[in-house]
Structure 1
Amino acid sequence: MASRQFSTPVTVLPPREFLSTGFEAINPSQIVEEERLPFYNRNHYYPMRIGEVLKDRYQILAKVGYGTSSTVWLCRDLRKQSYWVIKVHITTLKYNRELEVYKHLASVTIEHSGRLYIRQLEDSFKIKSRNGEHDCFVMTPLGMSLRTFQQMQPDSIFEQSLVKSALDQVLIGVDFLHDADVIHTDLHSDNLLIAITDDSILSTVEEDEIRTPSARKQVGDTFIYISRYMLGGAGPLTICDLGQARVGKEQSGIAMPVLYRAPEVILNMKWDNSVDIWSLGLLAWDLLERESLFRIYNNELELNDAYHLAAMTSLLGPPPPEFLKRSKETSKYWNIDGRF
């Protein structure tokens, strides 16, 4: 007689109750969190509520970050009884480049220690709001960004030994991306998060949210919560946010944050993974100095490529002849001898 197979029953935790009173109510006229970002539109973001359960599984515990295209939330997996973060994207992100990059990286079989320095995608799904669909990424919780940590330092600068250690880790991660034919294009201290070595911080954040609910403002039926920072030990730096990454060896078009933009991108040339190394050079400067290396405005309001390229020329000298020949755009700024 055939033996009967019995599956182990899965214990699903009940959702916890979160207070709907007792929090600091922020004046609706005050601009906070993602509202401060350029091009912010409240209708594009998912109207998350702390305590909400997504996909009958992930209960939202606290807000831990935000960006131009998403908000990030600590959650508890009620099935596996574990903690994750969920990155919830805006509705207007019709093509999710980051998801495609993660799918590409999942197909890469090379063995490289740098993979450990790249944030991993554990799961993805979609949720709906009144304004459309939102892509959701389930990821391992990480601590605060390197930029936030820098702001806690005296004069907001790091010791050289710490910067050297940070860059060593980032370079290993970037080397893996480049071996996998991925160009990040968006390397800066906001996208470098400190890994957590003490997971007890996650339950602490959950309990803190229950005892002392996060400050928030209400606009209509939407709440905008103030993020909680997590620092559970000083683990390795992890490269995050692949939303601007490109797959392939040679690329074209505008990319990179303006302050970190490489000259070949400014000049509409073809570009490759060397733009990431340019970004890392500027990152090193910004971790050690109070002022940015290059001036990119001709006044406090107007962005000016000419000022940006002039600052590069002043500090680095004239471009080599082979660089000048790569684009007709260079004749707007330099003569044939490389003089600006």
Structure 2
Amino acid sequence: METQRIMEFPHRNMDKRPKKRPRLTWDMPQPVPPTKVLPTIYCGQEFANGTVPNYAYSSIYYKGVPSNGSPPWRPDDKDGHFVFAIGENLTPRYRIMSKMGEGTFGQVLECLDSERKEIVAIKVVRSIHKYREASMIEIDVLQKLAKHDIDGTRCVQIRNWFDYRNHICIVFEKLGPSLYDFLRKNSYRSFPTDLAREFGRQLLESVAFMHDLRLIHTDLKPENILLVSSEYIKVPDYKFLSRSMKDGSYFKNLPKSSAIKLIDFGSTTFEHQDHTYVVSTRHYRAPEVILGLGWNYPCDMWSVGCILVELCSGDALFQTHENLEHLAMMERVLGPLPQHMIIRADRRAEKYFRRGARLDWPEGATSKESMRAVWKLPRLQNLVMQHVDHSAGDLIDLLQGLLRYDPAERLKAREALRHPFFTRDLRRCGYPV
């Protein structure tokens, strides 16, 4: 028997990377659906001007698919993922338009909400106990965020949730691509400094908002920061104007709107919960997490620092797959780890150090390729100067505060928002800060 437990929320108006890196985004290429259920409308295609045509709701017709009601019951796949066909209903209210992405948690489907006549994104969680439990925790977090984020500008807005055929389904507003996907589709060309500054300001406001609510995101990364709009424009890329004009590489895309929202609260923890296990995606993982020293709010701030570098350079700051190499990259970019953190490292991290005094590098390197990956990295100041044409001094100073090894000395979110990198131009314009 199907069960539907629905909680309504007030409706408001509206590869360069290592191959093992997970891509958990809402804007991945769609698989080609079976011919018999292909809709005769445009569904998620990209257009030259960056816009998508309106869906012709009244003209949608799928042969053999009822206009309302439930699809035939099918068993889940071997991993517990929901099996569906494009055009079918996910409860009588939601019609499946396309598959937007897939991750460890399950799938994200683009659906038409027949009641509100809007397109929504529905996270369909795998029918496995631990993922169902994690999704209920995420719903708890989303409810808390929605209660306090009155204007809905900081974090993705939950519409409702329900339990459908043993799958927890969370309904969200539909947003644009992630910052990671935008970089990827732009050949990993960096954002202009002023745009990266605006992204950073909004990200810090969202993080400060969460920290005020005693919540720690623990998985901040460009994949979990979504543009509100999918629209973009093409502009000349002056770095490429003097090079070959093949494939239009002298142009790059920029989003029409700088508005962003934070997503994916499946790993979010409350202040009082256990903070000893490993958190964060590898590239954005703070040193205290790797060393097993426990973590708290500052782990989010380390991730913000890594993200800012990536937005300004186009590449992840620490592109690595294992802990020793990761620590070696940190020392290459930021200088040696503090001795007091090395001494306190837990048993699992002791193997990364020689006699508990210094990092076991390059002696402990797994390959020459790993050694080269570390040696090619510049110091933080030089890295920023390579990519930032103005405000470089302010940005370097901000990053040095966000990427301090000792979490007790790391900038807090509201302290970072008061940094000259964000306030200097406002003061020039006469705005209060």
What TM-score comes out, normalization by structure 2 length?
Answer: 0.55
What is the correspondence of 1:231-246 to structure 2 with a 5 Å cutoff?
Answer: 234=257, 236-246=259-269
- 1:65 maps to which residue? 101
Give the Å deviation of 1:107: 4.1
Residue 51 in structure 1 maps to residue 84 in structure 2: no
Give the Å deviation of 1:81: 2.7
Q: Is the 8 A contact 1:58 1:78 kept in 2?
A: yes
Give the Å deviation of 1:327: 2.9
Give the Å deviation of 1:68: 2.4
The one-letter code matched in structure 1 to 2:117 is Q
Shift in CA distance, 327/339, structure 1 to aligned 2, threshold 3 Å: closer
Give the Å deviation of 1:270: 1.1
Higher relative contact order (CA 8 A, sep 6+): 1
Q: Is the 8 A contact 2:195 2:258 kept in 1?
A: no
Q: Is the 8 A contact 1:146 1:194 kept in 2?
A: yes
> How far apart in 2 are the matches of 1:111 and 1:284?
26
CA RMSD of aligned residues (A): 3.1
The one-letter code matched in structure 1 to 2:159 is E
Residue 265 in structure 1 maps to residue 289 in structure 2: yes
Q: Is the 8 A contact 1:115 1:176 kept in 2?
A: no
Give the Å deviation of 1:232: 9.6
> How far apart in 2 are the matches of 1:77 and 1:160?
38
Give the Å deviation of 1:51: 1.3
Shift in CA distance, 165/184, structure 1 to aligned 2, threshold 3 Å: same
> How far apart in 1 are the matches of 2:147 and 2:174?
25
Q: Is the 8 A contact 1:114 1:175 kept in 2?
A: no
What is the correspondence of 1:86-165 to structure 2 with a 5 Å cutoff?
Answer: 86-94=122-130, 95-107=132-144, 116-128=153-165, 133-153=166-186, 155-165=188-198
Give the Å deviation of 1:258: 1.4
Give the Å deviation of 1:16: 3.8
Question: Match of 1:117, SS?
Answer: coil
Residue 311 in structure 1 maps to residue 329 in structure 2: yes
Q: Residue deviations 1:159-209, cap 9 Å, x none? A: 1111111111111001111111211111111111111398xxxxxxxxxxx
Give the Å deviation of 1:110: 8.3
Q: Is the 8 A contact 1:193 1:240 kept in 2?
A: yes
Give the Å deviation of 1:139: 0.8
Shift in CA distance, 232/71, structure 1 to aligned 2, threshold 3 Å: farther
> How far apart in 2 are the matches of 1:166 and 1:322?
34
Q: Is the 8 A contact 2:228 2:261 kept in 1?
A: yes
- 1:294 maps to which residue? 318
The one-letter code matched in structure 2 to 1:318 is P
- 2:61 maps to which residue? 17
- 1:37 maps to which residue? none
Q: Is the 8 A contact 1:320 1:338 kept in 2?
A: no
- 1:184 maps to which residue? 217
Shift in CA distance, 339/173, structure 1 to aligned 2, threshold 3 Å: same
Question: Match of 1:255, SS?
Answer: coil
Give the Å deviation of 1:142: 0.4
Aligned equivalent of 1:85, options 114, 121, 124: 121
The one-letter code matched in structure 2 to 1:240 is I
Q: Is the 8 A contact 2:112 2:118 kept in 1?
A: yes
Structure 1: stretches of 5+ with no match in the other structure: 1-12, 21-40, 199-230, 297-302
Shift in CA distance, 310/147, structure 1 to aligned 2, threshold 3 Å: same
Q: Is the 8 A contact 2:292 2:346 kept in 1?
A: no
Q: Is the 8 A contact 1:98 1:244 kept in 2?
A: no
Q: Is the 8 A contact 1:15 1:78 kept in 2?
A: no
Residue 278 in structure 1 maps to residue 315 in structure 2: no
- 2:239 maps to which residue? none
> How far apart in 1 are the matches of 2:146 and 2:127?
32
Q: Residue deviations 1:270-299, cap 9 Å, x none? A: 100111111111111222225433353xxx
